[in-house]
Amino acid sequence: MAAASKKTYAKRIVVQAAADAFKKLNPAVMIGNPVMFIVEVGTLITLLLAIKPDLFVGSGTGRGYNIAVFVILLFTVLFANFAEALAEGRGKAQADTLRKTKSETTAKLVHKDGSLKQVSSTQLRKGDIIRVDTGEIIPTDGEIVEGLASIDESAITGESAPVIKEAGGDFSSVTGGTRVASDFIVVQVMTDPGESFLDRMIALVEGAKRQKTPNEIALTTLLAVLTMIFLVVIMTLVPMADYLDVKLDIATLIALLVCLIPTTIGGLLSAIGIAGMDRVTQYNVLAMSGKAVEAAGDIDTLILDKTGTITYGNRMASEFMPVSGVSLQEVTQASLRASMKDETPEGRSIVELALKLGAMPGNPADEAAEPVAFTAETRMSGLDLADGTKIRKGAVDAMKRYVAAQGGVIPGNLDETANRIAKAGGTPLAVAIGDRIFGVIYLKDTVKPGLKERFAELRGMGIKTIMCTGDNPLTAATIALEAGVDDFIAEAKPEDKIAAIRKEQQEGKLVAMTGDGTNDAPALAQADVGLAMNSGTMAAKEAANMIDLDSDPTKLLSVVAIGKQLLITRGALTTFSIANDIAKYFAIIPALFILAMPQLQSLNIMNLASPKSAILSALIFNAIIIPLLIPVAMKGVKYRAMSADRLLMRNVLMFGIGGVIVPFAGIKIIDLVLHGLRLA
């Protein structure tokens, strides 16, 4: 059922793209693409020649030939428009879905006297205070100023699990269109109508509103210059042909011009850029501009926060270390008992590790015990059994005072064990039953699996990784070594992050970083690519040029790969397009002049049937290669982590040499078909 629905969805996009291809024939739209605009002008001229063959001086070819040239040119333009419309199609479909999310909602406006008034969401202005209760849609973007609630963000992120948001801190921003799943919140509106996060998403995913990137503008300019050069070349062929007594009619000259100008990349250029943006949105990342995606592909340095990016951010139990006179089994069992009713992530990780090491759960006395929660004052937690036995775990110094107060003896190697854990970057927790300390629990902020390999890939691409952390240098060095980053900044403050970014930029490098807090905003703004977490503050999201809707800081690594794929795809297809022209040159020029200049026979390596057959074959190939390359433009050239030199060599061999060979074969096959059908 899902597959059938997906197929129908894809079919609807294709049908709409086909209709849009005709709408884009509007010259006011086409002039934005100089190459295809020239083709459209040529199409119009050949249409006039098809209607009246002798309309212009030197246009004495037959109506049938003119009609054939017109039809092929028309399809060339339509295929180029179809490629762009198809790329825009998914963005428009996403925009339609978002518009449904942004349906008209009401809001409870809080007045200064505390009273509530139901108003339309369109009436809300920046600075207004609203209340949102369980089950209600949050009408616009804002910051929670009171309350704590679980927020269902599935309409924006596609993730079904609600997230906890509360006033203060780095997880206080809410997005319009999301829903309060439990409790209530009081929100300060942060945007005026039409400026919300959802409004920006709708505008950005619609390809029609996409601004061209600097690289794309530069390439468009280059293609326009090449087109003008070939236009001059074609014009100079006329007096040369007259001198050689070779008749070149207008339709043939237009066909020759269209074959020689870079129509393939001209027709696919916009589709490549739009599809690149679309691939980013498929990863649930909202890029504020195509420039940000391209910059990600050119990144030299990645600056990443340790907590939540490189590590999970929660200290997890890694090892149980017994003190003198205690076995590993005893300290493992004691740690399990001390954590049985501890619902914190650390507590659950201790239970999980103890069970994995063979500890036995299910002690009836523990099940009936009174849990003792951790407090900042005691720095301990545990159980109080019915028989008066107290089981505790906590900070080593706090546990030493606790045991000493009960008359217990402090093990001689306790401090040594705790110091060894601290030097390794971990957190030691002592565990005791009654007045006896059994050992130490080693908690560590675990590095996410697979990151070391991904950082190695980045290193292979020449990208430097720097970890920022507030930890001491010793702990930072340990985590950096385990994660495999190239460098680290310990005890980092917000200004240290900015300084690190500026230092790299002064060396001519492009820098990317992730962040979610208000204190990250200056660094996100300074970075060439700033990826903010959707769960973070509004200040961070406004400073960044990309927002990760899933709030997964490691997503930046995928964004870099997508940016590189976009640049590689554009470069590969440009190489293929220009290489194509070499084969078309060998197909058409000798065929046109061989009768007047028999010396050109050595260049007639394709041995095409006739001049008309050569022109029509090249023209047909020129038209059909565009739709054949649409899947490559949409999906992107497969990206592999390798150095720039190797990547360049690979693409030159595949798309450069391939761009020469494929047209030779394609044009020859088309020529044989036309000759066999006696069409030319």
Q: What is the pLDDT at residue 25?
A: 92
- Which of 180, 205, 230 is at the close of a domain? 205
Q: Is 520 annotated as a binding residue?
A: yes
Q: Which helix (H) or strand (E) holds 84?
A: helix 63-101
Q: Which of 14, 12, 13, 36 is nearest to 25 (CA)?
A: 36
Q: What angle do CA 430, 433, 435 make, to 5 degrees?
A: 90
- Tokens 């083709």 correspond to what residue? 39
Secondary structure class of 371 (helix, strand, coil)? strand
Q: Which of 496, 527, 454 is nearest to 300 (CA)?
A: 527
Same-domain check for residues 31 and 155: no
pLDDT range class, residue 414, cuts 50, 70, 90: very high
Q: Is 134 annotated as a binding residue?
A: no
Domain annotation covers residue 303: yes
Contact 297, 463 (CB under 8 A): no
Residue 192's domain is classified under what CATH number?
2.70.150.10
Fill in the DSSP letter of residue 654. Answer: I
Domain annotation covers residue 133: yes
Q: Is 377 annotated as a binding residue?
A: yes
Domain annotation covers residue 554: no
DSSP track, 451-488: HHHHHHHHHHTT-EEEEE-SS-HHHHHHHHHHHT-SEE
Same-domain check for residues 539 and 567: no
More confident residue, 325 or 161: 325
Same-domain check for residues 226 and 369: no
Same-domain check for residues 582 and 606: yes
Same-domain check for residues 211 and 302: no
Residue 461's domain is classified under what CATH number?
3.40.50.1000
Contact 291, 566 (CB under 8 A): no
Residue type, 659: G
Q: Tens of pLDDT along 255-307?
A: 888 988 889 998 888 888 878 777 887 777 877 777 788 888 888 998 987 87
* Tokens read off for 625: 């290669």
Same-domain check for residues 324 and 428: yes
Same-domain check for residues 301 and 380: no
More confident residue, 439 or 518: 439
Same-domain check for residues 211 and 86: yes
Same-domain check for residues 112 and 195: yes
- pTM, rounded to two decimals: 0.66
Asked if residue 217 has pLDDT above 60, the reply is: yes
Q: Which helix (H) or strand (E) holds 6?
A: helix 2-23
Residue 322's domain is classified under what CATH number?
3.40.1110.10
Q: Which helix (H) or strand (E) holds 44?
A: helix 34-51
Tally of domains within the chain: 4
More confident residue, 651 or 74: 74
- Which of 171, 205, 239 is at the close of a domain? 205
Q: What is the mean pLDDT of the chain?
A: 82
Same-domain check for residues 227 and 80: yes
- Which of 418, 446, 474 is at the close of a domain? 446
pLDDT range class, residue 39, cuts 50, 70, 90: very high
Q: Is 301 annotated as a binding residue?
A: no
Q: Tens of pLDDT along 101-150?
A: 555 578 888 988 888 888 888 788 888 999 999 888 888 888 888 888 88
Which residue of the set 152, 199, 305, 528 is catalytic?
305
CA-CA distance, 202 to 93, in Å (whole number)? 10
Fill in the DSSP letter of residue 520. Answer: G
Asked if residue 5 has pLDDT above 50, the reply is: no
- The predicted model gives 527-552 an average pLDDT of 80
CA 3 from chain centre, in angstroms, equals 25
Q: What is the pLDDT at residue 626?
A: 92
Secondary structure class of 345 (helix, strand, coil)? helix
Q: Which of 340, 315, 313, 317 is nearest to 439 (CA)?
A: 317
Among 81-90, 317-326, 587-596, name the one with the lowest average pLDDT.
Answer: 587-596
Q: Which domain does 377 fall in, by range?
A: 314-446
Q: Tens of pLDDT along 469-521?
A: 877 787 788 888 888 999 998 888 778 888 999 999 999 899 998 877 777 88
With b meaning 16 or more CB within 10 Å and e meaning fewer, what string describes 116-131? eeeeebeebeeebbbb
Asked if residue 186 has pLDDT above 60, the reply is: yes
pLDDT range class, residue 60, cuts 50, 70, 90: low
- The predicted model gives 577-599 an average pLDDT of 76
Same-domain check for residues 412 and 327: yes
Q: Which of 257, 240, 289, 175 is nearest to 544 (CA)?
A: 289
Q: Is 380 annotated as a binding residue?
A: yes
Same-domain check for residues 28 and 74: yes
Domain annotation covers residue 555: no
What are all long-range contacts of 379-382, with beta carbons under 8 Å and residues at least 24 apart?
381/338, 381/342, 381/347, 382/338
Q: What is the pLDDT at residue 532?
A: 84
Is 96 part of the annotated catalytic residue set?
no
Domain annotation covers residue 481: yes
